[in-house]
Amino acid sequence: MKKTFRFFAALAVLCLPSALVAQHFETGGRAYNVLSEADHTVELTMRWSGSPYGGNFTVPSTVTYGGVTYDVVALGELAFYRANLSSVSIPTSITRIKTQCFLLATGPTAIYIPASVTEIDEMALSALNLTYIIVSEDNSNYCTVDGLLFSKDTTTLVQYPAGKSGSVVLPPSTQHIGRFSFAYSHSLSSVTIHEGVSSIGYGAFMFASTLSNITIPSTVSFVGSNLFEGCTALNTLSIASGNSHYYMDGMMIYSSGGDTLVSCHKSVDSIFLPASLRVVGGFGGNNNIRYVHVPDGVTVINENAFENSSLMYIDLPNSVSFIDEYAFVDCESLIRVGMPASLDTMGHGCFEYCTNLTYIEIPDGLHTIPNSAFFGSTALSHITWGNNVAVIDSFAFGGCSFEELYLPATLRSVRAGAFNGYYDGTLRRVAFSAPVDTIEPEAFTGHHLESLRLMNSEPPVSLTTLEYGADYGCLVDATVDSIIIPCCSIDAFLADTYWGLFEGIYYENCNGIDIASGGDIIVYPNPATERVIIHGIQDGSCIELVNFLGQSIIRQAIFSNRVELDVSCLERGAYYLRIHTADGITTSKVVLL
């Protein structure tokens, strides 16, 4: 779970065809997602444009759109995100309030939960000025204790109102403190937790900025990671004697066996973790840490382990096999990550918004680059691919700054928005090294591609939709100068519903466009009329264009990895292009028409 709403990552799904996201409509100044056309049910959601909701807000029990009347059965995720509400009225048609529904809303101060509500997700009621939660006595799943939201049997704290001030003593019946239950509490000074509590959920006190002291009882057998992220006033943290599951070392909480780091609230710039560790977590929101030495033997980097920390450098040992979701999200100071050869699984969003990360090396064991893995890492411009990458998932590199991509031969699927440039993309050249099965919509949206090289004899599937039209494919809202395809494949591409739209910019690789070992140097268009473009050349090389009489027509030194030759004044016919590098001379035939 992330600390706050990832606004741009969430908006990214709005660019996808409706086949991939719920149907969305707006009417009467409110926005809705259709949950079931068969049952005619919708959820209230945030508006995609305009200001957040405000004032005295009444959620309707039904809404009519397109001649169909829908029941409003849920308040959607982030429906009231940053809303300035005076009050909100929830009808008895509502059965669920989804996660972060009221995240960072400045009102209301009180919320009434009707008996119909059976599900309230974590952080659903995290409005900043909320001081009291009232639950209908007839609600079968929830109740109120002194304005706090509990499960009906009062054993689980679900939500502490973020605007409630002072100290709180939890009732003796409390056994579980839920995930994010005190999140964003900005007037809370201390919490008294009775013996008998057995679990404290992930991020339970996240951004409780005024919390100064807390003691974890001896009965607690489970503590989630990142308990105290953003607790800037916390200066007294202790575990009661007799706890057999956890111990403290300074402001660091470890499992009793010393194999799991649960929480680090230590104010130092570098830490050398103990050799007994196998699982690392708990650095979320630590704004002092710059370097962490992770010892050999660690196998897992936990969910949100370093989220929103000031970490700059980390080298993961060759024992780490799993980096969990959002492990390094929002690490804006991170400039170097040493990725281990042992890594075989990464969770989604694990390096989202690492805005100073410029280079990453993908290890051979990683088969899938997960959803939003490096989304918003705007400085990322260089990558070394592992030898087994088969899938680049949705928005994995959205918003990154690559200029050239030479994709690995093992790649089979490029998912929706994988390299989306969001209308200001930097990509100029993309080259596939082998045939690929699918390139989904918006894979290269927002870029001006000078060349796209495909190795497919049959065009890759682009997953266009009837609703959005045949042109809604991987190059929608992108500009493309040339598409290089294998020899004798032009008919198959032109016959394809989507790829046929690019007639006039295809160049068949019939004369050795790929002229260097490894395919790093490409030449296009070929045949050519006015210009020949060569890129991937070593700095300090020399190129030479020779006619069939052996005469050197053009010869020049190269001081960049890309050169454009003006051949408009040359006689039409066949020429030899020679590239002189430190490794020798490579020759290819070029035809001028």
pLDDT-derived band at 468 (thresholds 50, 70, 90) equals: low
Evaluated on CA atoms 25, 28, 32, 37, the torsion sign reads negative
- Domain at 1-130: CATH code: 3.80.10
Residue 466 above 60 pLDDT? no
pLDDT-derived band at 365 (thresholds 50, 70, 90) equals: very high
Q: Which residue has the higher pLDDT, 584 or 367?
A: 367
Tell me the C-alpha to C-alpha distance, in Å, between residue 26 and each of 33, 55, 61, 75, 258.
9, 19, 15, 15, 53
- Residues with Cβ within 8 Å of residue 200, at least 6 apart in sequence: 176, 177, 193, 216, 220, 222, 223, 224, 227
Q: Please give the Cα distance from 156 to 197 (Å, whole number).
A: 9
Residue 513 above 90 pLDDT? no
Evaluated on CA atoms 60, 66, 70, 75, the torsion sign reads negative
Residue 176 above 90 pLDDT? yes
195 CA to centre of own chain: 39
124 three-class SS: coil
pLDDT (tens digit, 9 = 90+) per residue, 150-160?
999 999 999 99
pLDDT-derived band at 295 (thresholds 50, 70, 90) equals: very high
pLDDT-derived band at 518 (thresholds 50, 70, 90) equals: very low
pLDDT-derived band at 221 (thresholds 50, 70, 90) equals: very high
Average pLDDT over all residues of the chain: 89
DSSP labels for 308-374? T----EEE--TT--EE-TTTTTT-TT--EEE--TT--EE-TTTTTT-TT--EEE--TT--EE-TTTT
Residue 12 above 50 pLDDT? no
Q: What is the pLDDT of residue 552?
A: 82
**Looking at residues 449-468, what average pLDDT do you find?**
80
Q: What is the pLDDT of residue 27?
A: 94
Question: Could you tell me the fold of the domain covering 521-592?
Answer: Immunoglobulin-like (2.60.40)
Q: Which residue has the higher pLDDT, 55 or 8?
A: 55
pLDDT-derived band at 375 (thresholds 50, 70, 90) equals: very high
Across the chain, which distance is largest between two alpha carbons, in Å? 97
Q: What is the pLDDT of residue 550?
A: 67
pLDDT (tens digit, 9 = 90+) per residue, 98-151?
999 999 999 899 999 999 999 999 999 999 999 999 999 999 999 999 999 999
Q: Tokens 């009489």, residue?
A: 549
Q: Which residue has the higher pLDDT, 465 or 419?
A: 419
pLDDT-derived band at 56 (thresholds 50, 70, 90) equals: very high
pLDDT-derived band at 575 (thresholds 50, 70, 90) equals: confident
Give the chain's end-to-end CA distance (angstroms, integer): 58
Residue 515 near residue 588, CB atoms below 8 Å: yes
Tell me the C-alpha to C-alpha distance, in Å, between residue 400 and each of 104, 301, 338, 424.
28, 24, 19, 10
Q: Please give the Cα distance from 432 to 218 (Å, whole number).
A: 58
Tokens encoding 486: 């294998």
159-198 per-residue burial string, b: 16 or more CB within 10 A, e: under 16: bbbbbbeeebebeeebbbbbbbbbbbbebbeebebeeebe
pLDDT-derived band at 18 (thresholds 50, 70, 90) equals: very low
Q: Is 1-130's fold the same as 133-244's?
A: yes
Q: What is the pLDDT of residue 511?
A: 53
Tokens encoding 120: 């309230």
pLDDT-derived band at 464 (thresholds 50, 70, 90) equals: low
Backbone angles phi, psi at 173, to 5 degrees: -75, -15
CATH tag for 133-244 (out of 3.40.50.720, 1.10.287.70, 3.80.10.10, 3.20.20.120): 3.80.10.10
3-state helix, strand, coil in the chain (%, to 5): 5, 35, 60
Q: Where are the domains of the chain?
A: 1-130, 133-244, 521-592
Residue 19 above 60 pLDDT? no
Q: What is the pLDDT of residue 580?
A: 81
**Looking at residues 334-358, what average pLDDT do you find?**
96
pLDDT-derived band at 514 (thresholds 50, 70, 90) equals: very low
Q: What is the pLDDT of residue 358?
A: 94
Q: Please give the Cα distance from 186 to 373 (Å, whole number).
A: 31
570-592 per-residue burial string, b: 16 or more CB within 10 A, e: under 16: beeeebbbbbbbeeeebebebeb
pLDDT (tens digit, 9 = 90+) per residue, 531-568?
888 877 777 788 888 886 667 888 888 877 778 888 88
Q: What is the pLDDT of residue 129?
A: 95
Q: Please give the Cα distance from 373 to 504 (Å, whole number).
A: 35
Tell me which residue of 233, 307, 318, 309 sits closest to 269, measured CA to CA.
309
DSSP labels for 558-587? --SSEEEEE-TTSPSEEEEEEEEETTEEEE
With the CA atoms of 432, 435, 439 and 444 taken in that order, what torsion angle do they form, in degrees rounded to the nearest 10?
10
Tokens encoding 212: 């100064």
